[in-house]
Amino acid sequence: METTLRGVGVSHGVAIGEVRHMGTAVLEPPAKQIPAEEAEREQGRARQAVEAVAADLIARGNLAGGEAQHVLEAQAMMAQDPELIADVERRIAVGSTAERGVYDAFAAYRALLANAGEYLAGRVADLDDVRNRIVARLLGVPMPGVPDSDQPYVLIARDLAPADTALLDPTLVLGFVTEEGGPTSHSAILARALGVPAVVALPGAGEIAEGTVVAVDGSTGEIFVEPSQEKRAEMESASAARKAALTAVTGPGATSDGHKVPLLANVGGPGDVPAALEAGAEGVGLFRTEFLFLDDSKQAPSEEKQIAAYRAVLEAFPEGRVVVRVLDAGADKPLDFLTPADEPNPALGVRGLRSLLDHPDVLRTQLTALARAAEGLPVYLEVMAPMVADRADAKAFADACREAGLQAKFGAMVEIPSAALRARSILQEVEFLSLGTNDLAQYTFAADRQVGAVSRLQDPWQPALLDLVALSADAARAEGKSCGVCGEAASDPLLACVLTGLGVTSLSMGAASIPYVRATLAKHTLAQCERAASAARAADSAEEARLAAQAVLSGE
């Protein structure tokens, strides 16, 4: 009998197939004492397993490329964390086996993060995956991961670690569903990059029996268990129509009456450029430079290394616009040379621009590298600061840009509610705004962006979030300046129309989402987008806002 479940759709498309569940490693090894003379051997086993897992994660990243590579390299660094390894060795020294020492050390770190309620708790799934891989290697059992299957299937898991998501084979994994996660989790972002339909934050998904046929709608978040033939035909027809619409619309982003809305790509480095070009991106709306710094958390990359990476991206978009975000370190992206080690809540501490202003040499080197990378290129370079709170922050950043001799537009990210509320003041110092809707939602609703239990508050359709977008866009319009969106909200085609109606001047997203957004914008006039935006803001919940906008745009 057909039943319907609803989670959070995070990657467009429809998948229909049999369920396969993610395999897991033995999570808890037996607790037994070892003689003191065996401690050194066990410590050696632990170190070898850690290095082998780190090497495997890096190899997976090299195969995956793009943003996935940066995520997996960061996970490998997690495996090799010196404090964790030291804790493992201390536990072995007092009698634990290698596998038990690893398990207990990781459990202690996990509990510290979760109980403190820190932003880093959003990386618990990544931490668990690293632990399971190390323990599995020590126990000699299969690694956790995607099940073996010769036939295409829909994957269901409690959560998907980046190591698993990055190497999903789209010819076999039709789509995936997770019980945990949120719309801005690593798995959701990588799913969009892969173009695999995905639904997250669906409690009870793990109870769907192996082999059950399900239909997954990655746009609406709906899961149909044992769908009828009529439902299958309906979804397949809608999917075919959607694909046909994608190929029918090409060129720059615009509404049906010619209002231009540049469609830009979010990239983490040169590896993400080919997909952006293939999707027809008109430039880069968010170049996340922190991935270059995460290659080595002990020291900043040299100016020459930075120049090479920046120039590779800038050269790919001659005459195009490339918006570079300077280093956004702290919170879930700690760097030993930059990030305080003893902050009780890193998400509310010294992160982003605050870190850079405390370390002006790091900021100066990055700005100088950007200036040199752009020399002689016809690209339109724009540079923006993360986590700007007020006009003083914006002025400090603009002054630093000028001192570095940077010939570019300077901008500020709107990720903190204060920046949206005082956007016009901030625009006295900078030339554009860019809304990071992921963090803006997190700080507006006090809802960690990685925690599935609060995913409804991370929904970018929340009317309060739309109000902040409107405030920012109105301020930019009044000052004759631009205001883009580079958060994941831009990847939702329907919401892209609403953002356009709110006055947003450009949209930046993962490359796989660009064709969907382009095709949807092309079906509606600017006036329709404006009416949809008004209807969404008048609603009292995210779901009501979505339905209200949909009704306007469908002509109901």
Q: Are 496 and 469 in contact (CB under 8 A)?
A: no
What per-residue string of b and e applies to 106-141 under the rule 16 or more CB within 10 Å gives b?
beebbeebeeeebbbbbbbbbbbbbbbbbbbbbbee
Give me 311's structure tokens. Answer: 């120039």
Give me 145's structure tokens. Answer: 């991961």
Alpha-carbon span 413 to 428, nearest angstrom? 14
**159, 200, 163, 194: which is closest to 182 by C-alpha?**
200
Q: Which residues touch 156 (CB under 8 Å, ≥6 apart)?
A: 19, 20, 21, 22, 176, 177, 178, 205, 206, 208
Beta strands, E only, 260-391? 263-267, 283-288, 321-325, 380-385
Alpha-carbon span 106 to 350, nearest angstrom? 26
Partner residues linked to 198 by β-bridges: 11, 176
Q: Are 404 and 364 in contact (CB under 8 A)?
A: yes
Give me 422's structure tokens. Answer: 């005082």
8-11: strand order across its sheet? 3-6, 222-225, 213-217, 14-21, 153-157, 173-178, 198-200, 8-11
Annotated catalytic residue: which of 186, 359, 401, 483? 186
Residues, the chain, total?
556
Residue for token pair 């020492």: 101
Give the 3-state secondary structure of 210-224. CCCEEEEECCCCEEE
486 noted as active-site residue: yes
Annotated catalytic residue: which of 12, 70, 401, 486? 486
Q: Which helix (H) or strand (E) holds 509?
A: strand 506-509
- Count Cα atoms within 13 angstroms, Cβ side, for 12: 24
The one-character DSSP state at 359 is -
Q: Are 507 and 490 in contact (CB under 8 A)?
A: yes
Alpha-carbon span 302 to 325, nearest angstrom? 18
Active site residues: 186, 486
